[in-house]
Amino acid sequence: MPYPPEHRERTRKNILRSARALFNRHGFAQVKIDDVMEHAGLTHGVFYSYFKSKSELYAEAISLALWRGDGVVDGVNVDFSAGDAARQVIVEYLSREHADDVDGSCPMVTLPADVARGGDPVVRAAFEKVFTSMAGLFAETLKREGRPNPNRALAIASVCVGAMVVARAMANEKLANSIREAARVTALELGGWTERQPRRNRPRRRTVRSAALKPRTRGVH
C-alpha cells in the first residue's frame, strides 16, 4: 500500500529535526549520517532519497532557525507580526530558556567554532544565511522606525550571538546569567528599544526538548 502524499514531507522534517538536535549537541564533524538516521528511527539507505550529502542536510537543518517575517520554525518564541518583534527577539534569544535548550537552540550559538574550522563552503554559507537573516530583522525594524543603520543591526545580532556563546561556556551559572542580562540591556540600548515588561513578570515559555541521543525504533520508510 503506497504512503500518503504527506508522508514524504513528514519524513523529511523528521530527518531535519533529528539532524538539528544532533548537530547542536555534538557539532557538525562528530555527527555521522548513520547517527542522524538512527535517531530519526530510519534506515541509512533512506537518507539519499532526501539529501545528497551531510553538508546539504546541515544547510537545510539550520535553516529551521531563519529569522523570517512569517516566524521561526524552531528557535525563540516570538510573534513576528508584532511591531516590537525585534525587541522580543533580543529578550527571548538571551533568555535562560533558550540557553538551556541546547538541542533546539539557534545553531549560531552551538556551532560557530565548528563551522569556522570546517571550511565546507555549503556549511559556511548556510551559517552565514542564518546570521544575516537575524541581523536583517533588526535592520528592517530600525529602517521602519526611521533610523536606518545596517551596521548597528549587525552589532546587535553579534552582541546577542556572542553573549550566548560565552554564557554557554561558563561553569558559573551566576556569571552566565549576568553575561546574558548585560548583553540584553546593551542590545536593547543599541536598538533604542526598551524592555516593556520586566522579565520577572513574563510567563516562562515551555521548552520543548528533543530526545537527542535516545534512538527511536528503527523502521524503513
pLDDT at 49 over 70: yes
pLDDT at 217 over 60: no
In the chain, the number of structural domains is 1
Any domain includes 212: no
pLDDT for the residue numbered 25: 87
Any domain includes 220: no
pLDDT at 169 over 80: yes
Any domain includes 44: yes
Q: pLDDT digits over 122-159, tens only?
A: 878 888 888 898 899 999 999 999 999 999 999 999 99
Any domain includes 22: yes
Any domain includes 206: no
Share of the chain above pLDDT 90, in %: 43
Quote the mean pLDDT of the chain: 81
Determine the structural domain holding residue 162 and report its residue range. Answer: 6-201
- DSSP for the chain, please give it: -PPPTHHHHHHHHHHHHHHHHHHHHH-TTT--HHHHHHHHTB-GGGGGGT-S-HHHHHHHHHGGG--BTTB-SSSS---TTSTTHHHHHHHHHTSHHHHH-TTTS-HHHHSHHHHHHH--HHHHHHHHHHHHHHHHHHHHHHHHTT---HHHHHHHHHHHHHHHHHHHH-S-HHHHHHHHHHHHHHHHHHHT----S-GGGSPPPPP----TTSPPPPB--
pLDDT for the residue numbered 124: 82
CATH code of residue 56: 1.10.357.10
Any domain includes 211: no
User: In which band, very low, low, confident or very high, does the pLDDT at 211 lie, cut at 50, 70 and 90?
Assistant: very low
User: In which band, very low, low, confident or very high, does the pLDDT at 205 lie, cut at 50, 70 and 90?
Assistant: very low
pLDDT for the residue numbered 75: 53
Mean pLDDT of 30-55: 93
Any domain includes 208: no
Any domain includes 11: yes
